[in-house]
Amino acid sequence: MQAITVAVPRYPLFEIFQGVEELTAEFEREFGIKVHLERIEASAAPHAIASAIRQQPSQIDVWLQPFNHTSYALFSEGLLECLDPYIAETRRNTPDYDVDDIEPELMQSARYRGESYGIPLLFESYILIYNKKLLARYLGGRLPQTMDELVHAAREVTAAGHGEVYGAVVRGVKGAGPIDTVAGVVYNSVCRDVVERPGNVWFDRAWSKPSLGNPAIARGITHYSQLLRSGPPDALQINWDRAAKLFQQGKVLFFIDATQFTVYFEATGSNVAGHTGYALLPPAEHSGNSWTGHWELGWLLAKNSTRKDAAWRYIQHMSSKAADARISTYTAGAIRRSTWQSESYSRVLNSELHRVTVESLRRAHSTLVEHRAWDAMASTIMGAVQQISSGGDPNEAMQAATRSVAAIVAREQEEDERRV
C-alpha cells in the first residue's frame, strides 16, 4: 500500500487535529493510501519540519504551517513544491473541487513570485471581542466608536476593576509571536490605500527601507501599547494562550485577537459562552473605516517528496467543499465562499460572529512579510511596543526600532550580495 507522511502542529486550546484525523481516516478508506500522521508541538514545528524536508527524500510529504515568513523562507530555499500544475490538472479533471470557491485573498498569502505554493486550511482575522455583561456594567452597553475611545474606556475599566476586572488584554510577550495582531491594529490606523503589498505596511516597495517612521504606523503601535498597559500587571509576559484564558474566565472586557478564539469562548463550559460579543476594530477616526489583518494556516507539499501525486490528492481531499464545511466548525475560519454562504454553517457559528468575520475579511490585508529575517524585525517592533507600554516616549521608541530594523535589513542585503 502506498503511504505518505503528514505533519500537523499541536496548538494549545485548539483541537483541529480531531477534524484532521477524521478526514484522514476517510481519505485512507477512499483512496487506499496510508497516512502516517505526526503531531509536533507548534513551537518546535518550524525547525523540525525544515530539517525533515531538506532530506533526500523528504521525511515529510505534506504538512500544516502558517503562510508567513517561515513558509516564505522554505520557498526561498527551494524546498516547496509549486502547486500550480496540480491545481491546473484538478481544474480539468475534478471540476467539483472548484478551486475558485476558495477565497482568493487567502490563496494570495501562499503565492510567492506569482506562483502558488499552499492551500489554506483556515484563516483568522483580528477583531474586537468583548464581554457583554462587563460592557453593560461598566459602559452602559455602549461600544467605543474609535480606537482612542477604546483605549480610554479600557483604562477606566481597569482602574474601576481593582484587579478583579481588566479593561483590555492583548498579547504582550516580546518576540515575533504577537506581531500579526499588532499588524491588524496598525492596518486599522494606516488604512487601505497606503498598503501596496502584503507586509509592505512595514517597508517601502523595495523591501529595503523600514517605514516605521510613518505617523499612522506609530499611531497604531501606540494604540496597541496603550491597550497592553490597560491589562494585568504581568501584561508584558502574556502570550495568546494566557490572554484567551483571562477573557474566557470573565476577567476582561475587551480582547483584540483572532476570530479563531471564538470556538474556545463559545464552547460548552466556557464562562463567557452566550455573552461574548464580536465587532470590527473601532476605526482610528470617527469618519474612518475599520481595517485589520488576516493570517492563514495551510497545507504545503515538499519539493523533495517522492510521493507528490498521493500528497496532492491528500491536500485536495482535505480542502474540498465537504472537508471545509466540517473542519471549519473547529476553527471558525472556513476558507471557501460556499461554506460561509451555507445556512448550516451560519447556524453553527454565533450569528454575530458569522457576520463580523465575513465583513472583517473584506477589510483585511495579509500579515505575511516576505523576508527571511522578519523574526528579528518583528521582535524589534514588539520591543518598541513594550517600551511605549511601560511609559517610554513613542517617538524615541519608534526611532530606535527604525534604526534596528534598518540594520537587520542591511545585514541581510550584505549576506545576499556575498552569496551572489
- Which three-class secondary structure string do you get for 21-81? HHHHHHHHHHHCCEEEEEEEECCCHHHHHHHHHCCCCCCCCEEEEECCHHHHHHHHCCCEC
Q: Which fold has domain 125-293+369-416?
A: D-Maltodextrin-Binding Protein; domain 2 (3.40.190)
Say how far apart CA 225 and CA 396 lie, in whole Å. Answer: 14
- Distance, CA of 365 to CA of 291 (rounded, Å): 8
Cα–Cα separations (whole angstroms), residue 91 to 84, 87, 105, 315:
10, 6, 19, 14
Cell 481593582 belongs to 162
**d(C-alpha 313, C-alpha 190), whole Å:** 41
In the structure grid, which three cell numbers stand for residue 8, read together? Answer: 500537523
Q: Specify the pTM.
A: 0.94
Domain ranges for the chain, please list them.
3-124+295-366, 125-293+369-416
CB-facing half-sphere around the CA of 365: CA atoms within 13 A: 26
8-state DSSP, 143: P
Rounded Cα–Cα distance for residues 270 and 347 (Å): 19
Supply the DSSP symbol for 109. T
Which residues are registered as beta bridge partners of 294?
125, 366
Q: Which pLDDT belongs to residue 76?
A: 93
> Do you know the residue count of the chain?
420
Let me know if the fold of 3-124+295-366 is the same as that of 125-293+369-416: yes
Q: Looking at residue 302, what is its pLDDT?
A: 98
**Given the C-alpha cell 517522492, which residue does it identify?**
306
Beta carbons within 8 Å of 61's beta carbon, 6+ residues apart: 4, 5, 6, 301, 302, 305, 307, 308, 310, 311, 314
Q: Classify domain 3-124+295-366 at the CATH topology level.
A: D-Maltodextrin-Binding Protein; domain 2 (3.40.190)
How do strand 119-131 and strand 292-301 relate by DSSP bridges? antiparallel
Phi, psi torsion values for 6, nearest 5 degrees:
-125, 130
Burial class (CB in 10 A: 0-12, 13-18, 19+), 1: exposed
Task: List the pLDDT tens digit at each of the 420 positions of the chain.
Answer: 799 999 999 886 677 888 899 999 999 999 999 999 999 998 899 999 999 999 999 999 999 999 988 999 999 999 999 999 999 999 999 999 999 999 999 999 899 999 999 999 999 999 999 999 999 999 999 999 999 999 999 999 999 999 999 999 999 998 888 999 999 999 999 875 555 555 568 887 666 778 888 899 999 999 999 999 999 999 999 999 999 999 999 999 999 999 999 888 988 889 999 999 999 999 999 988 999 999 999 999 999 999 999 999 999 999 999 999 999 988 899 999 999 999 888 888 888 999 999 999 999 988 988 888 899 999 999 999 999 999 999 999 999 999 999 899 888 888 777 766
Location of C-alpha cell 472548484: 98
Which of 169, 57, 188, 205 has the alpha carbon at shortest distance from 126?
188
- The three-class DSSP label of residue 287 is coil
What is the dihedral sign for C-alpha 138, 142, 147, 152? negative
Residue 238 CA, chain-centre distance (Å), reads 17
Q: Say how far apart CA 316 and CA 319 lie, in whole Å.
A: 5
| Cβ–Cβ under 8 Å, residues 219 and 189 | yes
C-alpha–C-alpha distance, residues 124 and 190, integer Å: 20
